[in-house]
Amino acid sequence: MPDEPLFLYSVRSTFTDPAVRREFIAWLRDGHLADVVRAGALDAELVEFAVPGDAPLGAIGEVETRYHFASRAAFEEYAAGPAVELRAEGAAKFPPSRGIVMKRGFAMSTLRVGR
């Protein structure tokens, strides 16, 4: 199945407070990623970016979650159904007032190579 194009949904998050970043990562690990998979994603990935060496003092590493869906239609079904409640939960726990900004992205994953 490595040649099958998959729909990729990603959320990249930036933070102004390292404690909020730690809490956000714990929330993702403790169930949110698994909830999205149970709700329709094929898999979920958590990526924790390191702070570049030339970043300003006090910079905080970004976090990205990546989810593969079998197709855009499968994602749209997820987005119109289970995602509504999952996003509401995330928005309640991590509103912009806590210094988190989330940017969503959509793409087709056309080639995955592995062992």
Which pLDDT tens digits describe the chain residue by residue (115 residues)?
A: 456 789 999 999 999 999 999 999 999 999 999 999 999 999 999 999 988 888 788 889 899 999 999 999 999 999 999 999 999 999 999 999 999 999 999 999 888 888 8
Report yes or no on 3 lying in a domain.
Answer: no
Q: Which of 28, 10, 17, 22 has its CA nearest to residue 89?
A: 28
Report yes or no on 93 lying in a domain.
Answer: yes
Report yes or no on 103 lying in a domain.
Answer: yes
The number of domains in the chain is 1
**Which tokens is 40 given?**
């329709």
Report yes or no on 10 lying in a domain.
Answer: no
Report yes or no on 23 lying in a domain.
Answer: yes
The answer to whether 46 and 61 are in contact (CB under 8 A) is: no
Number of residues that make up the chain: 115
Domain with 99, as residue range(s), is: 16-63+71-109
Report yes or no on 102 lying in a domain.
Answer: yes
The predicted model scores a pTM of 0.89
Report yes or no on 7 lying in a domain.
Answer: no
